[in-house]
Amino acid sequence: MPSTGALREGDDFMESKTYVRVLRDLKFKRPVLIEGLPGIGLVGKIAAEHLARELGAKRIAEIYSPHFPHQVIMRKNGTIRMLRNVVYGWKQGSKEIVIVLGDVQAVTSEGQFEVTTAMLDYFKSIGVKRIYTLGGYGCGKHLDKPRVLGAATHKRLVDELSKKGVIFGESRGTIIGAAGMLLGLGKLRGMEGVCLMGETHGAYVDANSAKSLLKKVCELLGVKISLDELEKRVKIDKIAEKQMRKMKETDSRTHGTPSYIR
């Protein structure tokens, strides 16, 4: 058992600290980690969820933490469950992928350090050496063909992925949350990784950016999946966006330019 407080199903929970509940001991040699927790435009979350679903990845662990919001989720069958992050695993031949998804991220800096540390302890125990964190890069405008920007732990990765169409050096600022912390703390542990960011407006859920990002991720991983369901979501989003714009135009003509305080 890893020293992180990883538990097997049936073990007593430790509610006062972050812990990893191991559900399945899927044996890996050197899996690639994909992180897709909620972030800007839910770009990384949408992409990673679609990847896990299309691959048919198996649930191998759950992560619980007192640093997640103090809520439970009510389900359609009338039961409840805790907020959590979930780890999925997939193997086919020499290809091995681990995907971490979830409802939320830790809400404080201290919580981010603790949750990330627990994650990395577990990921290291199953052989992860390379990490791809997925997210959105807010640019404040609508884009039909979003690009994929990158920020890496090592210069050699910049050189490697630049040849595959990832754009480095144009993104500015900081990478907040798990997408940055997994890379930063992972680097201190000898891991390497890249944050892959789909360009997005930043003010709405962006399935189109997620589609562009996922195409690049699949290229880097060397896997092929169907994007049909994601494409349907993109079309629905575009229709909804057009309807929203028409409503705003109608409101503007009817009521004039809205005042600063309404």
186 domain-assigned:
yes
153 and 261 belong to one structural domain? no
> What band does 238 get if pLDDT is binned at 50, 70 and 90?
confident
66 and 193 belong to one structural domain? yes
Residue ranges making up the domain that contains 262: 228-262
Does residue 260 have a pLDDT over 50? no
In the chain, the number of structural domains is 2
- Own/partner contacts of 53-58, CB < 8 Å, gap of 24 or more, are 54/225, 54/226, 55/90, 55/97, 55/223, 55/225, 56/90, 57/88, 57/89, 57/90, 57/97, 57/99, 58/24, 58/26, 58/88, 58/89, 58/90
> What band does 256 get if pLDDT is binned at 50, 70 and 90?
low
131 and 218 belong to one structural domain? yes
pLDDT at 261: 38
2 domain-assigned:
no
Nearest CA among 185, 249, 208, 226 for reference residue 55: 226
More confident residue, 182 or 15: 182
Does residue 259 have a pLDDT over 50? no
Structure confidence by residue, pLDDT tens digits, 121-155: 999 999 999 999 999 999 998 888 999 999 999 99
161 and 188 belong to one structural domain? yes
163 domain-assigned:
yes
Average pLDDT of the segment spanning 9-35: 86
234 and 167 belong to one structural domain? no
* CATH number where 93 lies: 3.40.50.10900
pTM of the model: 0.87
